[in-house]
């Protein structure tokens, strides 16, 4: 699974799946329409579609009940540059981290100041205790 193309090639190893892709290259269609030329049940076709979808070769619409299937040439290219753009991902993240660190620093200072105040109060109370006792 570690080879980037293995899922794609595994998906393409089957002649039915290649035929499905060839049909989808003509335009999007429903599962029922796709199943027509094949001597296969709908669940069997659905299984093939799942493999193709997992390999990123097709996408399935959610906008309609019949979930149109279409070939996904853009998803084929999305591997390019992982994370969209590696550098931009970290650059933007670290810029946000700058702001967040200032928040953490401020929290820590407030916390430290609170502790000093509390220690002072305890000392005073102890002194008071000694005087009265």
Partner 1 sequence: MDAKVDKTLKITTPSDLEFAMTRVFDAPRHLVFDAMTKPEHVRRWLGSAEQAVLGCEIDLRVGGGYRFTMRSAGGVASMLQGTYREIARPERVVFTERFSMPGFTSEEYQVKSSFVEAGGKTTLTTTILHDSKENRDGHLNSGVEKGVAPAYDRLAGVVAAMA
| Count of residues in contact with partner 1, rule CB under 8 A | 52
Judged by CB under 8 A, does residue 34 bind partner 1?
Answer: no
Judged by CB under 8 A, does residue 117 bind partner 1?
Answer: no
- Asked whether the CA dihedral 26, 29, 32, 33 is positive or negative, the reply is negative
Residues whose CB is less than 8 angstroms from the CB of residue 58 and which lie 6 or more positions away in sequence, other chains included: 20, 21, 24, 49, 52, 69, 70, 71, 72
Judged by CB under 8 A, does residue 104 bind partner 1?
Answer: yes
Judged by CB under 8 A, does residue 28 bind partner 1?
Answer: no
User: Which CB, 17 or 45, lies closer to partner 1?
Assistant: 17
| CA nearest to 31, candidates 16, 49, 17, 13 | 49
**Exactly one of 50, 67, 77, 123 binds partner 1 (CB under 8 A); which one?**
77
Q: Rounded to the nearest whole angstrom, what is the least distance from the CB of residue 22 to partner 1 in the complex?
A: 4
Instruction: Give me the residue label for tokens 């299984």.
Output: 47
**Phi-psi map region of 108: left, alpha, beta (phi>0 left; psi -120 to 50 alpha):** alpha
Task: Name the site residues for partner 1 (rule: CB under 8 A).
Answer: 1-2, 4-5, 7-8, 12, 18, 21-23, 25-26, 53-57, 71, 73-102, 104-105, 108
């Amino acid at each position: 699974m570690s080879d980037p193309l293995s899922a794609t090639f595994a998906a393409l190893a089957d002649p039915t799946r290649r035929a499905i892709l060839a049909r989808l290259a003509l335009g999007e269609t429903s599962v029922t329409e796709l199943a027509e030329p094949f001597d296969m049940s709908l669940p069997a076709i659905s299984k093939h579609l799942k493999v193709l979808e997992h390999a990123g070769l097709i996408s399935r619409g959610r906008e309609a009940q019949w979930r149109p299937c279409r070939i996904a040439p853009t998803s084929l290219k999305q591997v390019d540059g992982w994370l969209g753009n590696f550098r931009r991902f970290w650059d933007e993240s670290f810029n946000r981290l700058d702001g967040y660190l200032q928040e953490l620093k401020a929290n820590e200072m407030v916390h430290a100041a609170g502790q000093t105040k509390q220690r002072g109060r305890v000392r005073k109370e102890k002194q008071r205790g000694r005087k009265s006792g």
